Amino acid sequence: DGGITQSPKYLFRKEGQNVTLSCEQNLNHDAMYWYRQDPGQGLRLIYYSQIVNDFQKGDIAEGYSVSREKKESFPLTVTSAQKNPTAFYLCASSIASRAEAFFGQGTRLTVV
C-alpha cells in the first residue's frame, strides 16, 4: 500500500535521552514535514525538507534535529535540549508545490 509509515506508534523515554522517530514514505513525494500536535495548539511545524540532503527549520525547531539522506525517509531526533518533548508527532509528505499533504498515523512520545 502507498502511504506514510511512522514508527513506533507509542514511545516512552527517560528524561535526558535522545530519541529518534521514524518516517518513511513510498509515494515518491519530494517534500516531507514534521509537525508536533498539542491540545489546543493545532499542528506546529518543526522541520521540513523540499529535496534530499536539504531541510529547513520550521516554527519550533529548537531541541530537534532531522536528516534527509534518502527521498523516502525523514527521521526526527528529539534531543535532550527539547524542554517539553512529550507530544504527538506527525510526519507528512507532498509533491513539491501546490499540493495536499498526506499524513502518517503519528507517534505519541512520552518522556518520563
Round to whole Å and give the CA distance between 78 and 1: 28
Where do contacts with another protein occur on this chain (CB under 8 A)?
A: 31, 33, 35, 40-45, 48, 50, 56, 58, 90, 92, 94, 96-101, 103-106
Minimum distance between the CB of residue 94 and another protein, rounded to whole angstroms?
6
Minimum distance between the CB of residue 108 and another protein, rounded to whole angstroms?
12
Cβ closer to another protein: 48 or 74? 48
In 3D space, the residue among 23, 24, 6, 19 whose CA is nearest the CA of residue 110 turns out to be 19
* H or E element that contains 11: strand 10-13
